[in-house]
Each structure stands twice: as structure tokens, then as C-alpha cells.
Amino acid sequence: MMKIGILTLPLHTNYGGLVQAFALQKVLIDLGYDAITVHRVSKPKLSVKIEALIKRTIKKYILGRFNLVIKDWPSESESRIIAQHTDKFIERYIRLTEAINSPMEYHKLNKMGFDGYVVGSDQVWRMYYTPGMPSFFLDFTKDIDNVKRVAYAASFGVDDWEFSEKMTQVCGSLAQSFNAISVREDSGVGLCEKYFKVKAEHTLDPTLLVNRQVYSDMIDREHAPLGPNVLYHYVLDKSADKLDIINKVAAEKRLRVVAVMPQKKFSEVGSKGLESCIFPSVTEWLRGFRDAEFIVTDSFHGTVFSIIFNKPFIAIGNESRGMSRFQSLLKMFGLEDRLVFRSEQVNRELINRPIDYHKVDELLESYKRFSLGFLTKALNE
């Protein structure tokens, strides 16, 4: 059995990141591979902590904002409390290698007997999210023969080019040694060709390759149904305008509003408010998408799971987190009209406009066949 190592972003309390990691590993295992996710551990740099501490100290003691929390990052023990439920998901559903604590430690993987590596999915090729970028182009395998190198649904996250000239050269050279490359956004195809001089295919985010019944079974093993008449919102970057959209939909559809997120951020309340910072479980998060009557989200994977569970939804454009992801996903399924940027765009007609999920599901099955075919061919040839 071919042993495959999966490189993705570090696993923490990011629901979408966790479920896409589970999904890609499951798909590879179902295809007959011995798939294991590389356990990349990420910690804030000391310089970042010091800079944050100085800024907040100035605000509190010099500018007089005494309600500020000075230490705005949790200790390791506090982090474990905050992530206690999401960590259980990782322990139960994702196979991991030993910990890789820095890009300098990727050479450890060469001793684990991997026959190949799959890089993806999520924004693994976005400079802002990925320190040690050459590792995500498998630089640690460059002196190893007969190892498969595949990128599956790798994402740059944005349409514009964020790589420096030097990093473009380094990563472009490494990309040219890949057996096959696919990207999650249609714009990524052009970026790979223009800057790396390589051909890339456009494939589905791995969460869309897994049958919705798999997610539903996971939910039923751990949670009771959410109940009727619910508007579920998953909003990463809160604002008054987004709250107005939520309230508009709730009023029009006569739904009660439910969210599955911590009540507070650690940076807002510090150690004294730790209990309010705990993330609910991943399956509780998934349950919201399955059981709600309507979804409002500014998240890419929130949009994905609205589609997977065939829900009416509104996706709020989240430009700081990368718009190309939303636009490419919605374009695939002819759902561009579900994307809004401000409350004024949301009216009764949009809220009540039906989605033809028969057509959406037909398109999804076609994209699944292509995406699974790409993955199988890339690893077998």
C-alpha cells in the first residue's frame, strides 16, 4: 500500500481547516492509500508577542484604556482548554505524524517511509498564512528519487500575486518537479502558469468530495438535532453591517438566530474569561449547517457546507480573507447571486429566491468525478 503524507496548514481551532484535513485524508484512504497528515505545529513568534505586549501596554497605561487585557495570547495550558473540543476531533478523526515544530524539522519526514506527498488543501500557498513556504513545495524531498509530489486543491487565496521575486523563483523551480498540480480556485490555474510555468487543474475543495451522509453520521453520533426554525450564522469577522444582514433574514423568515462560536476572544477577556473562549465541537459546528433553515456566513467553508447540505444561504464577501475563494466556488455552481458585500444588497427577493439544488448536485457529482480522477491519476502514474 502506497504511503502518503499530507501537508496542510497547522490544525487548531479553525473549523474549515479541520474538516478539510479530515476530508482529504478520508478520500485518500478510501482510494486505497495509507494516508497520514503531517502534524505541523505553529506557535506565535516571540517578536510578535513582544510587539503586541508593547502596543497594549502603551494603550492601557499611557493612553488610559484600562479595560484592555495586556496579555492577549493564551499560554499552552490555556490553549489546550480553549481547543479541548476541537482537539478531540483531531484525535478521533485525523491520523498525524510526530510533531514538526519548524520548517527546519521537515527532514524528519524522510525517515517515515513516505512514497509520496499531497500538498493541500486550504490556503497552503498564501504567503500571509504559510511561513516556510518552500516546505509546502516539498523542498525537503528535492534530493530524494522516486517520490510522488502532488498538489491537490492548493489555494493562493487571492487573485493578486503575493510572492516576492526570489520566492517565486524558488517555489516555481520546486513546482516544476511535481507530478501533478491542482488548485482550488480557477484564478490559481492562471497564477501557476504565469509565475511557476506549470500546468494546473481546477479541482474541488476536499470537503466537497465526501458524501454529506458521512458528515451527518458524525453529527448523529454526538449531538441531538438543533431544533426547528433556526437561522444559523457562522461569521468570522463580526460587524454591525453583518449583524444587520442576519437580523433582516431572521425577521423575514421568522427564524431564531443560532451561532456556534466562542462567546469571546481571548484577546478581549484574557485568563479571567477563559471559559467564554472555548470553541464548541466540530460536529456541533457541522450540525448547524445540516439542521438550520437558512445560513448566513462570511466563511469559505461555511459557504461550502451550506451547499453540501442544500441550504438557502447568503455569503458575505470577506475581502481580508481572500475573495477569489468565494467567487470561484459560487461560479462553479451558478450561485454568484448569493454573494453580497453590504446589508443594502439584501432584500426580500434575495432572501426568498430559491436555489435549484437538483442542478447544483448534478454539477457537484460531475466535479467530484473529475477531481477524484485527477487525484487517482496523479498518484498512480
- Domains defined for the chain, CATH in brackets: 3-45+75-208+366-380 (3.40.50.2000), 221-361 (3.40.50.2000)
Distance separating alpha carbons of residues 140 and 144, to the nearest angstrom:
8
The yes-or-no verdict on residue 68 having pLDDT over 60 is no
User: What CA–CA distances, in Å, run from 328 to 128, 185, 325?
Assistant: 20, 5, 5
Q: Which amino acid is at 263?
A: Q
List pLDDT tens digits, range 76-94: 899 999 999 999 999 999 9
For residue 182, report the phi and psi dihedrals to the nearest 5 degrees.
-130, 155
CB-CB contact of 120 with 152 (8 Å): yes
pLDDT confidence of residue 332: 97
> pLDDT tens across 176-185, in order?
999 999 999 9
**Alpha carbon distance 73, 265 (integer Å):** 10
Tell which wins on pLDDT, 121 or 73.
Answer: 121
Span 351-356, average pLDDT: 98
pLDDT in tens, 301-341: 999 999 999 999 999 998 777 788 999 999 999 999 999 99
Q: What is the mean pLDDT of residues 207-222?
A: 96
Q: From the CB of residue 311, how many other CB atoms can be counted at a distance below 10 Å?
A: 19
The Cα–Cα gap between 168 and 157 comes to 16
CA 272 centroid distance within chain: 30
Angle of CA points 341, 345, 351, to nearest 5°: 110
Grid cell locating 271? 485568563
Write down the pLDDT at residue 61. Answer: 54
**Residue at 164: amino acid letter:** S
Average pLDDT of the residues in 347-359 = 98
Between CA 290 and CA 232 the distance in angstroms is 10
